[in-house]
Amino acid sequence: MTSQSQSNPALDPKQLMRDLSAFRDPSVGRSIWELAITAVLFVAVVAAMLFGVQAGYFITLALLPLAGLLLLRLFIIQHDCGHAAFFPSKRGNDWVGRALGVLTFTPYDCWQLSHARHHARTGNLDKRGFGDVDTLTVKEYREGTRLQRFGYRLYRHPLVLFGFGPAYLFFLRHRLPVGLMREGSLYWISAMGTNAVLAAVLAGLGFTFGWGVTALVVVPTVLIAGSTGVWLFYIQHQYEDAHWDWQDNWSFQEAALLGSSYLALPLPLRWFTGNIGIHHVHHLASTIPFYRLPEVLKAYPSLTEFNRYAARQTIRPLFLTLWDEDRRKLVSFREAKRIAV
């Protein structure tokens, strides 16, 4: 990893946020093209998988990674709609986002609010626990009961975070407006409406291709997209030189830039992930369309070396679990134990 100092004077987060307003206007034509090519490819691949099962599951198995990555890209487009970044009009963003929410098993309006709260509170130790990966400080972990420590260790295990977690999130949790049940009827309508349309789509596929075939195609596709998306989300904020502060010292602009990584992926993966690896820029100016994020890196080359990770460098951060306030770093359980001795 290449990590510039978090006090780098060449990057003023507040000024940079103002400057990035020049990149915020979406192109309607480009947005329609990005949506159309992704949706057409996704439908074509899923259709080939559904028909391919009849000739043997190996054809479907070979296409699963591609289907999962295309579904992930549709989620990134839904994500941009949630930030009002994909189309100039709110109505266009919202209805495209709601339609995509059926394919991604994610109620759009519920997700939009929880994700907005994630952006507004990133790196704020006083406002953790909504739309992010739960993170305890070393002190909080040590002061917890044995059961609390066990529960946290279980939650932070990679098998739970990237295996059971995505399955629970997309197949169960998203079926109700969890965390938003008292926020108003909109979120119940969003969850129940998404469920109803999703049930109709799955019923149509089930009656046409058979329930077993439908499950063999849909379930692993959603899991691949979900697990890859959770991995992306994790590395965007969970790395050694991350940035956390208590409310009194917290600044939105600093937390956005300093507490978000730049995941430098190969070109094909940048396409499938909608450039979301340029996450430090996204958090600083979330209304920039995903296809314009590379323009920002060209205009501000120093950002390409800021909190930079390559895909091969994302293994170690998976085992960083606690925020060490004294060292201002994320550390592993083992490191935290050694520090205590």
What would the mean pLDDT of 76-103 be, rounded to a whole number? 98
**Pick from 223, 228, 211: nearest CA to 50:** 211
Asked if 98 contacts 78 with a C-beta cutoff of 8 angstroms, the reply is no
Read off the pLDDT band of 130 (50, 70, 90): confident
Read off the pLDDT band of 129 (50, 70, 90): confident
Residue type, 153: R
Residue type, 257: L
The answer as to whether 30 is a domain residue is yes
**Pick from 61, 17, 66: nearest CA to 38:** 66
The answer as to whether 329 is a domain residue is no
pLDDT tens column, 261-312: 999 999 999 999 999 999 999 999 999 999 999 999 999 999 999 999 999 9
pLDDT tens column, 212-254: 999 999 999 999 999 999 999 999 999 999 999 999 999 999 9
Rounded Cα gap, residues 72 and 221, in angstroms? 10
Per-residue model confidence (pLDDT) at position 341? 56
Per-residue model confidence (pLDDT) at position 6? 43
* Residues in Cβ contact with 216 at an 8 Å cutoff, skipping those fewer than 6 apart: 53, 57, 60
Mean pLDDT check: name the lowest of 3-12, 110-119, 253-262, 271-280: 3-12
Mean pLDDT check: name the lowest of 8-12, 184-188, 331-335: 8-12
The answer as to whether 193 is a domain residue is yes
Per-residue model confidence (pLDDT) at position 126? 95
Rounded Cα gap, residues 190 and 206, in angstroms? 24
pLDDT over 60 (residue 85): yes
Domain of residue 183: give its range. 13-135+158-320
Q: Round the average pLDDT of the chain to a whole number and report it.
A: 94
The answer as to whether 326 is a domain residue is no
The answer as to whether 42 is a domain residue is yes
Read off the pLDDT band of 169 (50, 70, 90): very high
Query: What is the per-residue DSSP string for 295-333?
Result: HHHHH-GGGGGSSEEEGGGGSGGGG--EEETTTTEEE-H
What would the mean pLDDT of 148-160 be, rounded to a whole number? 96
The answer as to whether 4 is a domain residue is no
Give the Å distances, CA to CA, from 9 to 4, 92, 105, 230, 261: 10, 40, 43, 32, 18
pTM for this entry? 0.94
pLDDT tens column, 9-47: 467 899 999 999 999 999 999 999 999 999 999 999 999
Rounded Cα gap, residues 171 and 303, in angstroms? 37
User: Where in the chain does DSSP place strands (E)?
Assistant: 136-137, 262-264, 308-310, 322-324, 329-331
Q: How many domains does the chain have?
A: 1
pLDDT over 80 (residue 142): yes
Rounded Cα gap, residues 283 and 131, in angstroms? 14
Per-residue model confidence (pLDDT) at position 1? 47
Per-residue model confidence (pLDDT) at position 10? 65
pLDDT over 50 (residue 260): yes
pLDDT over 80 (residue 4): no
How many CB atoms within 10 Å of residue 129? 11
Rounded Cα gap, residues 47 and 51, in angstroms? 6
**Pick from 116, 120, 164, 154: nearest CA to 134:** 154
What would the mean pLDDT of 50-74 be, rounded to a whole number? 92
Rounded Cα gap, residues 299 and 170, in angstroms? 37
Rounded Cα gap, residues 123 and 246, in angstroms? 8
The answer as to whether 278 is a domain residue is yes
